Structure formats: structure tokens, C-alpha cells
Amino acid sequence: MNKNSSNMMALAPNTSNKRETVCIFGTGDFGRALGYKMLQAGYPVVYGSRSRQTSSLIPKDAEVLSHTEAAQKAAIIIIAIQRQHYNFLTPLAEVLHGKVLVDISNNLKLNQYPESNAEYLAQLVPGAKVVKAFNTVSAWALQSGTLDASRQVFVCGDDMEAKQMVMDIVRAVGLTPLDQGSLLAAQEIENYPLQLFPMWKFPILLSLGLVTFFFFYCLTRDVIYTYIYEKKNFSFFIAISIPNRICPILALTLLSLVYLPGVLAAIIQLYRGTKYRRFPDWLDKWMLCRKQLGLVALAFAFLHAVYTLIIPIRSFVRWRISSQTISQALNNKTEPLDITNAWISDSYLALGILGFFLFVLLGITSLPSVSNSVNWREFRFVQSKLGYLTLILCTAHTLVYGGKWFLSPSSYRWYLPSAYMLSLIVPCIVLVVKFVLIFPCLDKPLTRIRQGWERNPQYSE
């Protein structure tokens, strides 16, 4: 390694503790914000600009030079310019040779260009060492110092030493660098800040659809029907009673939808006799958003729990209980304790509590820091064993809730069954199929298939 060339100096351990000069091409908002931060961290900063007249917005301690002069002063050059102007760098190829170029650009759309901006930059200036960094941080966040959000800066590049230099700067300005490997990772890094919860879209749209359906279903049965046939105005059911019907239905349905794709995948593999053929696309996508489905289900379960606990405080409930007590008192009769009723009431509450408890446990283990601290075997144990136990408990909770009136014709209104009965369809299907699948006659071939065995090896040739 030739350590005599000027630009390699920066790579040598810096014993004098003086920071190396950093050059920034471009005096836009982000270039200025980064310049300020780097000056604060003790780096001499030099700007490369078309016009050499210093703007009042550029940090005072920074020098402004032409691109060529500025580039010569530093071993590391931050390209704070939009991609469409990168071609102005081509004539500078000679002076940029061997320099570290930091691409900080972002696009406006996902996969806007065929290759990432950083790779495009590397093609334009083949002699330079391109490193992708800083694109996940906003100028506003850098400047206001209110980095409550992620301090993570993804860094990638093909040259290890160049990457190390950039990661040192990232640390110096108070951020956390994360090495993402070679420059091939740039595309993903550039797409990252454009996303808005992509994995959550399907679960949230699905639950919005289901919420709307069940809202009108319950409105019809509980408010409109009662108003027409019993002449009672229960419109205030919209605030608590109906949400507290919708939430458990959605929690149970979404939870069972977490386990349905696994069951479907097992059936497909058993039918095909191999694991080496891809699942249909919809199944793949479904499997990838199971965690999000489960967490949305947990949110509904949490709401259901709070809505239920609040019941005795409701003015309507207090009035109803009080009227019942008064009417009993006025009729001079005391009802004896109905043991069956007490059993049903306590059982469905207990099942609900235990199911909710396990559900919360599943939610906690899906926190990134917790799931990172368990191994694959432990994760499978929690998500599969405990997950199915949760589904069983919650399904049982709903079944026992129905109690004596389950499937009784008197509970039908306008031929509509109670809403909770609709929520039992998917979980019961999942549980029955899963129960069938654990029979040895099906479980054994499935296990073998998953270990790589094929029923018809000639098939795939």
C-alpha cells in the first residue's frame, strides 16, 4: 500500500487527534446542515461550489472553493447534489481519483432508476471509492438536534477503509453507523426512507374492511332492530357496546388468519410432495405479514379488554343493574344463585384472561430486541406452540361466551346470527385442519418433506 499519496493520509491512524478535512460538494440545505454538524465535531469543512461567492447560509468557519480546489483539499468528499446533476463530476474524474465519495442522495419514488444512485456515481467516477451513507437522516433532524428518531445511518461500500472513514464521521456527528455490506446494498438503502409501513398496509386495510362490515352488521342487529321492534333507543351503543363486539371479532379473526397460511402451506406441500416449488404469490405475501397481522389482532384484543373492564362504570349498565335489583326488591323475591350461570360466566372470563395474557406475551416476544435475544428453537416454541394455545383459548372463550344460547334460534334477528358466531368460522377451520395435520399419517410425510425429501423426485427434473 502506497501511503505517500496525499489522499491516503487520512487512512493512517491519526495520532495528533486533529480531524481530517472533509469536502462537501453542494451548498443546499442538507449540505449546509451536515457541514455545521461536522464543524461542531471538529472537522475542517470545505465546500465545493459553482459560484465561489460565499452565501450567508454557509457556515462561517467553512471555506468555499471551486469543485476542483475543494476536492484537492480533502480525502473524503460528500456529494450533496441531486442525482440528475451527477454528470458534472465526469470532468473531475482525475482529481477525484482515489478519493472517498459519499453518496447521500435519496429518490422520490421506490426503485426510481434501474441502478441505485451510489452505483451510478461509482460508474461515473470509476477511480473513486463510493460509499453510501446519511440518506436516512433529514436535514431538519440534523439541524434541530432533536434526533428522537432513529440515529441509525446505513453505510455500504466496496472499500473497507473508505467505509471505516465514513463510519467514523457518522459517529462523530452523534449518529450510529450500520455497516450494510457492499455497494449492492445501496438500492435497498435508498428505498428505505421512502417506505411508510409497507408491511402494515394489508393488515390495516383488511381490518378496516372487516371493521366497517361488522359495524353495520351490529348496528342493524343491535340498534336498528331494537328500535323498530322494541321501540328502544339504544343509539349510544355506537360508543362502546358495538366497538366491544367488533374488537373481539377482529382480534380472533386476525389471529386465526396468522395461522391459516401455515396450514395452507402444509396442505400444499403435502399435495405436491415437495418443498422445492414456490408457493403461490399471495401465500408468500400473506406469510410475510403474519407478524403485523398478529400485532393488529393484539391491538383489537387490548381494546376489547379495556372496553370490557370499563363495563361496570357505564351509566347504562349501572342503570340496568339498579333497575333489575329494584324490580326484584319491589316484587319481594330473591333469586337463588344459578351455579351453571356462575360457571359459564367465570369460565369464559378466565379463558379470555388467559388468552389475553398469552397474546400479550406473544406481542412482547415480537419486539425486535426480545426476538433478537432468543434463538430459532425458542422463537418457534413461542410463536408456534404458545401461538396455537392462544388461538385455542380465545376460540374457547368465544364458544363459552355463547354459552347456553349458542346456536339457539331465539338469538337470530332478521335471520342474522349474533356477530360473535361469524368470528368463530375461521379459527375453527384453522384449529380443525391443524388438528388433522398433527396425526402421524400426515405429520410424518410433512416432516420428511420439510427436511428435503420428495415424493416424486423425477417430477421436478
User: What separation, in Å, do the N-terminal and C-terminal C-alpha atoms of the chain show?
Assistant: 51
Tell me the C-alpha distance between 384 and 272, whole Å.
Answer: 23
Residue type, 395: T
Q: Does 138 bind its own copies (CB under 8 A)?
A: yes
Q: Give whichever of 69 and 314 is closer to its own copies, judged by the CB atom.
A: 314
Tell me the C-alpha distance between 200 and 197, whole Å.
Answer: 5
Q: Give whichever of 380 and 444 is closer to its own copies, judged by the CB atom.
A: 380
Contacts for 393 with CB less than 8 Å, ≥ 6 apart: 351, 352, 354, 355, 358
Site for its own copies in 155-174 (CB under 8 A): 158-160, 164, 167-168, 171-172
Q: Does 72 bind its own copies (CB under 8 A)?
A: no
Q: Does 429 bind its own copies (CB under 8 A)?
A: no
Tell me the C-alpha distance between 292 and 211, whole Å.
Answer: 17
Q: Which stretch binds its own copies (CB under 8 A): 82-90, 217-225, 380-388, 410-418?
A: 380-388
Grid cell, residue 305, equals 379488554
Q: Does 344 bind its own copies (CB under 8 A)?
A: yes
Site for its own copies in 180-239 (CB under 8 A): 180-185, 192-197, 233, 235-236, 239
Q: Give whichever of 57 and 438 is closer to its own copies, judged by the CB atom.
A: 57
Q: Give whichever of 72 and 345 is closer to its own copies, judged by the CB atom.
A: 345
Q: Which stretch binds its own copies (CB under 8 A): 78-86, 203-211, 313-321, 404-412?
A: 313-321
Nearest to 50 by CA among 74, 81, 90: 81
Residue of 66, 150, 212, 408 that binds its own copies (CB under 8 A): 150
Q: Does 388 bind its own copies (CB under 8 A)?
A: no
Tell me the C-alpha distance between 297 and 6, whole Å.
Answer: 60
Site for its own copies in 73-92 (CB under 8 A): none
Q: How far is the CB of 81 from its own copies (least distance, A)?
A: 15
User: Which residue reads 352488521 in cell numbers?
Assistant: 217
Query: Is the CA virtual torsion 346, 347, 348, 353 positive or negative?
Result: positive
Q: Cβ of 285: how many Cβ atoms within 10 Å? A: 13
Query: Burial, 439: exposed, middle or buried (Cβ in 10 Å; 0-12, 13-18, 19+)?
Result: exposed
Question: What is the pattern of x (binds its own copies, CB under 8 A) and - over residues 291-310?
Answer: x-------x--xx-xxxxxx
Site for its own copies in 256-275 (CB under 8 A): 265, 275
